[in-house]
Chain A
Amino acid sequence: MGVHLNVFAHLVRNTVKTHGMPSARQVFVPTPLMNSSPAVLRGYVEGDDPVHERPFMVEVFDQLTRPVPDDELRGEGWDRSTPRYVEADGEEEMHALFQVHRYTDFLPVVLPTEERVERMLAGTSHPPDEMVGKLRPTIGMEHWHFDVERVAVNAVMAGAAPEYFPVILALASSGDTGRQSSMSSMGNMVVVNGPIRHEIGMNSGIGALGPYNHANSTIGRAFGLLSQNLQGGSVPGETYAGSQGCNFSYNCITYAENEEASPWEPYHLKYGYSVDESTVTVSYIWGNVWAEYLRTFWEEKLVAMISGLEPGMGCTLVLDPIVAREFVEKGFDTKEKLARWIHENAKIPQRRYWDHVMLNLIHEEVESGVEPFASYWNAPPDELIPVFEPDRINVVVAGGETNGHFSIFMGSPMRAKFRTNAGQKAAVSIDAWR
């Protein structure tokens, strides 16, 4: 029997149905759970199940002991399919239908007619029926699969040009979703590296992270649309659980690294690629803090900025080239040295390090004795612990040098153990999808 929060009643029913056991025993308690006192939690136990509208414990006893008909005990399976075409009376009705089916982000889309999809397919050498990958809203939910044509449909809807299609296919193949169903409402950051940045005219300069470039805008939007449609939806309360949602999700913060103005190696070399290769890297992002220049007390400020982030999630520094060169002048002649400095200097007390959802994410490592987390767990409460490990500190250079500004985003590529495609690098080859 499962116990869930009442706000997830629809999600729970959907999930057990798609797992072939629609009659699975479920009971519900009120929201919230986190930070509720023992007295409140006892009240949940002694109070009503808000979904079944009966006393919680009566429901527990009833569901565990009530005879279940044989057909319900066997569960229920069935074939599902999504037809190749969608039909409506006209274009206006089709736009309305796309909204009803939640195929859009509620901004206008380009309707994916056969002619438009065919033009998009010309942007790759891969056949329309080649399978690209699989996606799901979050861990524990079912994977949906998709081919090149279905990705092209979403690319058309986003308004992308055919020459962007290899980037979009690489994103689709990554196993990363631009519509992650996390209660924490994470968004994404998409960084493009390599020669394709210039081939398709991406912006890495002035306004790179803003709505000022066709490729940046539509590739990011395509990533979001393909994610929600190819993974089986992103519907609040059913396949999306983000309490507040994330405005980053409209475009997934999609931009190119300013490799030419950067004093350091391009970002994708961290993942074993060369400067001649084109890649795209997806991060999961919760928010950002901003600063300018490395002023007199820059070290104190940088430590404060990092220390305010939630530990363990990783961080991504997006530096204007001016700031990147300032770091070089201070001795950080590689991104790795900067990451190491942050690891060694941005620390918080052990008690605060573990006062966080992080505990749930890496508790398995602690139990298994994986370092450094086992030592962090066993450290005294006031011992200072690095907020982030060096490999979770990312540095990207972007901006047009109008001033020395930078942002630090909380978030990083998905941890290896949670990646959809086991063993896959965080950066995905675009060249493989040309």
Chain B
Amino acid sequence: MAKFRVLNPEGYPPKVNARGMAPSLDGLDGKRLFLVDVGFANSDNFMAQLRGWFEEHRPSIRTEVVRWRNQHIPDPELCERIRADGDAAIIGVGT
């Protein structure tokens, strides 16, 4: 039996290009973590609490809270600084 056929209402999705991830660290002791506040409400306070946890429980891990300039757009200057000076970054809070 012939199928009933209509036109597809969807748009054209872009090709997905593979993006590489950074390799894992062999441990966090002595490493420097950037805690990136992306700017959504209360993200700054969450990062402060996260930093507090590291200072209390794992003081050998150096942490610094930094702020993303615009919550909607990547901050290239900050990313470059993290790449140069840091070992890893925890970015949030995504809402």
Contacts and interface: CB of A to CB of B under 8 A. Distances in A.
B24 to A, nearest CB: 5
A46 interface: yes
Chief secondary structure at chain A's binding surface: mixed
Contacts of B24: 63-68
Contact of B3 (A57, A82, A83, A87): A87
A60 interface: yes
Interface stretch (A14-22, A200-208, A342-350, A391-399): A14-22
A408 interface: no
B18 A33 contact: no
What range describes how many residues of B lie at the interface? 35 or more
Contacts of A42: 49, 52-53
A34 B26 CA distance: 34
Contacts of B5: 85-87, 113-114
A64 B45 contact: no
B17 A20 contact: yes
B91 A25 contact: no
A225 B11 CA distance: 11
B91 A88 contact: no
Contacts of A44: 46, 49
Interface string B1-40: 1011111111111111111110111111000000000011
Contact of A360 (B40, B50, B94): B40
Nearest to B87: A64
A5 B69 contact: no
Interface stretch (A149-157, A281-289, A297-305, A309-317): A149-157
6 contacts: A3-B46, A3-B91, A33-B95, A41-B46, A81-B12, A144-B11
Interface of B: 1, 3-21, 23-28, 39-43, 45-46, 48-50, 52-53, 57, 69-73, 88-95
